[in-house]
Amino acid sequence: MNLPSDINIVEVGPRDGLQNESRFLATPNKIRLIERLAATGLREIEITSFTHPKWIPNLADAEEVATAVRHLDLTTFALVPNRRGLDRALSTGLKGVTFVFSATDGHNLRNLNRPTEESLREIIGLEAETRAAGLKTRISLSVVFGCPFEGKVSAERIISICERLVQAGSTRIGLCDTIGVANPVQVNELTSRLAEQFPGITLELHLHNTRGRALANMLAGMQAGIRHFDTAVGGLGGCPYAPGATGNVATEDVVAMLTAMGISTRVDEEKLLAAADLLADWRDTPLDSSIWRSRRMSECRQDDASAGA
What single letter denotes the amino acid at residue 31? Answer: I
Query: Residue 266: which region, alpha, beta or left (left: phi > 0; alpha: psi -120 to 50)?
Result: left
Give yes or no for a contact between 298 and 47, defined as CB atoms under 8 angstroms apart.
no
Please tell me the distance from the alpha carbon of residue 8 to that of residue 264, in angstroms, as a whole number: 9
Active site annotation includes 147: no
Query: Of 147, 162, 239, 300, which is the active-site residue?
Result: 239
Is residue 209 within 8 Å of 180, Cβ to Cβ? yes
Contact assessment for residue 147 and residue 159, using Cβ atoms and an 8 Å cutoff: no
Identify the CA nearest to 224 among candidates 205, 200, 251: 205
Query: Catalytic site residues?
Result: 239
